[in-house]
Amino acid sequence: MRKAVKPQDNIGSLWLVAILLTSLIVGVFYLATYKFDDRTRAQINDPSSIKLRTITIVPTTSLTPTPTIPITAPPNITPTYAPTGYNIPTPPPQSTPLPATDSPPPYAKLYCVDEEPTSVRIEPCDDATRCDIAHGGGGPSNTCGPVIGWQHTLMESLLQSGQYGANSFAVDLTTDISSNCYIASRISPYISTFNVIDSYNLAGFQGFSRGQHMSASSLENAWKTTPGYTYQTTVQGVTPGYAIFTGSNHVGIVNTVEIDSNGNGHMWFLHTGASYYLGKLIVANWTVVASSTGDTTVRLGGHQSQGADTTQGETICYCESGVCYRYDFITRRRTV
């Protein structure tokens, strides 16, 4: 038999449900107000604001492998360093030094010949009666130095080889002589034209060659017609370094000019292919009146690019009675 439900029982149940709902609403409000952050509260208040993050997945691609290139290991090089306190030596120069760099300087060097001041007879220097001839300076000069300077260098090489003796006409250039402008290669025999051609080419002048101007006549003809070169038959204005043509088959280079203001005095020249490396001219009134070559029809050739005569020191001749000739290149006059 069912028990009858009392009205007061239903009312109690409704109060219980109301209390639970009220507690739930208060709890949610509390959490929304004090516990959730702004983003969470916004999502609760507006569900449409909820954004889902997108994760991008990179698709897998098929990569072609790079071909393998064999690598050769570099050689094992050990650097070398100069020891502390040592200087690395400087390589020697490639060109032959000019006489100006010699020690002693050119004017302290002398050529020697056995002769009498009043004659042109030339003999090797073998006794006390001799002339000590100064080294000429100045004259025709170009980018690689003065002509007479290279003539001294060539002569020094020839003299050191010991080839000059009594009546020795055969001379060989046994060592290459080089400047930054030209190489005078060794050759045998070293004839008079080669000596002049090499001296000018070593100084930097051009226009003459051993092959084309081997003969003295061909060199002289070229001298007269090549632009820049000068040609004359008197000795006025001549300086060391001038070419001197004697006869038809011989040529040399002027070494010193020992002439006074009236055009009287001596000139010495250097040459090869002769009995001795020094030759002499006697000059009167600017004209050659005697020559050690036996020919007074002397012609001279120079170049427009030339400086003054800068010869220093002196030429001294010793006779049996003592000093019998002295020319001072400072005062430019004969003192004995």
Query: pLDDT: is 222 or 40 the higher one?
Result: 222
Residue with tokens 């400047």: 179
Residue 13 scores a pLDDT above 80: no
Specify if 91 maps to a domain.
no
Q: pLDDT (tens digit, 9 = 90+) per residue, 66-98?
A: 555 454 554 454 443 333 443 444 444 455 555
**What's the pLDDT score for residue 78?**
44
Q: Give the dihedral sign, CA 200/205/207/211.
A: positive
In a domain, 42, yes or no: no
What pLDDT shows up at residue 102? 37
Position 323 in a domain: yes
Count how many domains the chain has: 1
Instruction: Tell me the average pLDDT across 299-314.
Output: 94
The reply to whether 216 falls in a domain is yes
Neighbours of 271 (CB within 10 A): 25
Domain range for 296:
109-331
Instruction: Check if the beta carbon of residue 203 is closer than 8 Å to that of residue 145.
Output: yes
**Comparing 198 with 65, which gets the higher pLDDT?**
198
Q: Say if 153 falls within a structural domain.
A: yes
pLDDT in tens, 41-68: 545 555 554 444 444 444 444 545 555 5
pLDDT bucket at 9, cuts 50 / 70 / 90: low
Percent of the chain topping pLDDT 90: 47
325 falls within a domain? yes
pLDDT at residue 322 above 80?
yes
pTM for this model (two decimals):
0.68
278 inside domain: yes
Residue showing tokens 């020319």: 327
More confident residue, 158 or 32: 158
Mean pLDDT, the chain, integer: 79
Cα torsion for 160, 161, 166, 167, to the nearest 10°?
-130
Give 260-295 pLDDT, tens digit per residue: 999 999 999 999 988 889 999 999 999 999 999 988
Residue 37 lies in a domain: no
